[in-house]
Structure 1
Amino acid sequence: MNDFLTSTGLQALSVQGFGPLLLQGTWMTLQLAFLSLGLSLLLGLIGASAKLSSLRLLRIPATLYTTLIRSVPDLVLILLIFYTLQLWLNDLTELLGWDYVEINPFMAGVITLGFIYGAYFTENFRAAILSVPHGQLEAATAYGLSRVQRFQLVLFPQLMRFALPGLGNNWLVLLKSTALVSIIGLSDLVKAAQNAGKTTNEPLYFLLFAGLVYLLITTLSNRLFKVLERRYNTGIKGLAS
């Protein structure tokens, strides 16, 4: 029992010693996740609009985008996009005679994850838009609502009702995928846990700690999405409860 208490006390001290590092890694993970989510939502709305467009000039590139991104593993895409961006930047600086510029790992992570999950959100929004009865949009047009008003007052509230379950799932996958960006030099929560584990020779302990932090974030996220689902299902019998 004494050995167990001593071991537990040492572990607590080790967490305290690496608390700032783990806290900084957690904050980095949250920033990366939320900014990537914002970019993904924007690309998702644009991509869904393009895929539903009657113009082939918009529809074909959007289809190629979603097909390619969803067919290649995230890790491969992260490495490919990161190093491709760096090569393009190197060529540009060489052409213009500028000094070498290295891509910031954080911005690279946001762009990469946003670009990847934008494809998943595109399909999510596309399916949600198709689920909204077209007659309601026609009625809104007949009432003289502008395109912006139709989107704000008729389309968006209803598509969110259909899209939220998928958005919640994609958000959780995106959050966990932030752990992959440590391979491009970003000091996220997983990287911080790995560094602490190597220093103390207790990698399992710190990785379990990181897992608990992810569990806490996903639990809070699930609660938030439940609230949003109740909000957008207001007035729908059997769904708002």
Structure 2
Amino acid sequence: MDFGLVRIWQDGWVGAILHGATITIAVGVVSMMAGAVIGTLCGVIKWARIFPLTLVIDLYTSLVRGVPELLIIYLLFFSSVEFVTRVATAFGYAELADRGYAFIIAVIAIGTISGAYSTEVIRGALASIPAGHIEAARALGIPGTRIFRRIIVPQMLRIAIPGMNNVWQTTIKDTALVSVVGLQELMRAAFVGAGSTRNPLIFFLIAALVYLVITLISQAGFDTAERLVKLRSRK
């Protein structure tokens, strides 16, 4: 074990793991942002029951949540990589496509998955707002935009934050799946290091520890955000 840890340090694997962790966080954050945008739009549409968009969103969420995440990544990557490579090569950007396409497809895939779960979180949060609050505001003649901004959004955020925390935790763990497309994120770095040094236990334990640190820090951040929203709503 000591020899393994010394070798990991001396051979520069610590830097590779930290770089992989950075890629993991970047994919997770960008995917979560994309998923939050998708989830908010789709969640509001489902809550407002805008036909026929509601049917399209129901199909989207049911399909994404009913299919394994790894299969979604495979489908998106292998159905498009050849076409993108040909186009990039024709315009002289073959090297750029090789370096960046794995990251782009990872964000699209994880963002699509995150968006499906975020949709249900937002829809559920909106549905939990007492209808009497909105009806009372309308009875007082408050404009619809102000009702949405001052009554609906604050309550939705307070209810949705715990659910979005769960979506984030799932999203950051789903990033481990994109190693199959060659992206050098944390899991890929651990896998390469394990194969090169023949110390898989050490590398996978380090990867597990890094994932745990990321999730604990983000958990603390969501807890703080939830407390701030609750304090603000009481003022």
Give the TM-score of the pair, scaled to structure 2: 0.87
Q: Deviations over 1:66-118 (max 9, x none)?
A: 11111000000111122233366479x49xx8678647110110111001110
Q: Answer yes or no: is the 8 Å Cα contact 2:34–2:115 preserved in 1.
A: yes
Are positions 1:160 and 2:157 aligned together?
A: yes
> Would the alpha carbon gap of residues 98 and 133 (structure 1) be closer, same or farther in structure 2, given more than 3 Å must change?
same
Among 190, 207, 215, the alignment partner of 2:187 is 190
Query: Quick one: distance in 1 between partners of 2:84 and 2:48?
Result: 33
Q: Answer yes or no: is the 8 Å Cα contact 2:4–2:199 preserved in 1.
A: no
Among 42, 45, 63, the alignment partner of 1:68 is 63
Unaligned runs of 5+ in 1: 1-6
Q: Answer yes or no: is the 8 Å Cα contact 2:4–2:202 preserved in 1.
A: no
Q: Deviations over 1:125-162 (max 9, x none)?
A: 00000001122223334455444433322111111221
Are positions 1:83 and 2:78 aligned together?
A: yes
Report which structure shows greater RCO (CA 8 Å, sep ≥6).
2
Query: Quick one: distance in 1 between partners of 2:82 and 2:153?
Result: 39
Query: Quick one: distance in 2 between partners of 1:85 and 1:158?
Result: 41
| Residues paired across the two proteins, number | 228
Q: Answer yes or no: is the 8 Å Cα contact 2:73–2:109 preserved in 1.
A: yes
Unaligned runs of 5+ in 2: none
Query: Quick one: distance in 2 between partners of 1:187 and 1:126?
Result: 35
Query: Quick one: distance in 1 between partners of 2:83 and 2:42?
Result: 24
Root mean square deviation of aligned Cα: 2.5
Query: Quick one: distance in 2 between partners of 1:31 and 1:142?
Result: 46
Query: Quick one: distance in 2 between partners of 1:19 and 1:129?
Result: 45
1:53 Cα deviation after fit? 3.2
Amino acid at match of 1:8: D
Are positions 1:57 and 2:52 aligned together?
A: yes
Are positions 1:129 and 2:123 aligned together?
A: no
Give the TM-score of the pair, scaled to structure 1: 0.85
1:227 Cα deviation after fit? 1.3
* Residue in structure 1 matched with residue 177 of structure 2 by the alignment: 180
Query: Quick one: distance in 1 between partners of 2:233 and 2:24?
Result: 36
**Seq. identity, %:** 34
Query: Quick one: distance in 2 between partners of 1:53 and 1:233?
Result: 25
Query: Quick one: distance in 2 between partners of 1:169 and 1:54?
Result: 25
